[in-house]
Structures are given as structure tokens and as C-alpha cells.
Amino acid sequence: NDFLCSSDDDYRQNNGWKGTDLCHSVTSPVRISHYAIQYKDNGGVGTKLTGVAHFTPNAESHSGYCHGGSMTAAMDDVIGWTSFFVTGQCVPWSGFTAQVNVSLRRPIPVGSYLKIVGEITKTEGRKVWISSCLVCGNDDNEVYCTAEGLAILKK
């Protein structure tokens, strides 16, 4: 297992970005402070990224519950970051999320900390398919959100 901290706003500002990261900045509505990687056969299918997503009061939509867009943003983030590990090493911003199909299963109360997981399910050339979820509870039995995504690696 390797550990990845992806909340470096200084890196972004020093390398041409215009603002802070949507899901990793300390001011983000949904904040993913870090991910841990579990490689399967040095990258590729079965490689899994796991982190903790905090849904802050800034993610609120309906009274006491988070906006579905905050859940979708978290799914987009884990899909993109998981694809960066397809080669067996982390290559940040080596591709981009091209498609995210999200299923919102239950509302997330404001202030929740949930486990977020992305797993590579298929690769074909520069295309990387990822399955992801937001879960909690014993044995991750409380599923709040699932997604299937496609990321495209840069040439």
C-alpha cells in the first residue's frame, strides 16, 4: 500500500491552476483529505483507491442533507484519481474523467464522514473503466452512492 495526499493547494497555485481543488482543499464542500492505494499486479484491473470523504455544511441542499452534486463530485474525483494509478505508479493529471454514471442511493447527512472507493475494472488502450462507491457501516453495508466511470489517459 502506498499513501497519497492530494490536498496541496500550493502545488496547484505554483503550477498554473487558477483556484483551489474542488474536493481536496480545506474549504471544499466535500473534502477528501487523502487516498490509499492498493495495487493489483502492479497496476491495472483490480487496483483500488480508498479514502475518507467529509461532507461539510457547505455541501448542504435540503435541510440537513447534502446536495447530490457533492456526491457526484466525489465520484468524479475518485474515478479520476484511480485512473492515475493504472500503470502501477501515481501519475497525477495523466488523464481525465470522460464519463460518470452515478446512482444516488440514500441521502447523506451534513457532517458525515464516508469511505470512498474506486477500483479499476477494465482497461483498453488509453481507456480506463472504474467502479466507485461511498459507503459506511459494518462491512460497508450502508451504500450511499455508486458510480461507473470512464477515464481517458493523455497521449
Enter the pTM of the model: 0.90
- Concatenate the DSSP letters of all residues of 102-152 into one string: EEE-SPPBTT-EEEEEEEEEEEETTEEEEEEEEEESGGG-EEEEEEEEEEE
Distance CA 2, CA 17 (A): 26
> Could you tell me which residue, 5 or 50, shows the higher pLDDT?
50
Please report which confidence band the pLDDT of residue 40 belongs to, taking 50, 70 and 90 as the band edges.
confident
Answer whether 147's CB lies under 8 Å from 100's CB. Answer: yes
pLDDT in tens, 44-99: 999 999 999 999 999 999 999 999 999 999 999 999 999 999 999 888 889 999 99
Instruction: Return the SS3 of 39.
Output: coil
pLDDT beyond 70 at 2:
no
Cβ atoms < 10 Å from Cβ of 84: 22
pLDDT in tens, 107-122: 999 999 999 999 999 9
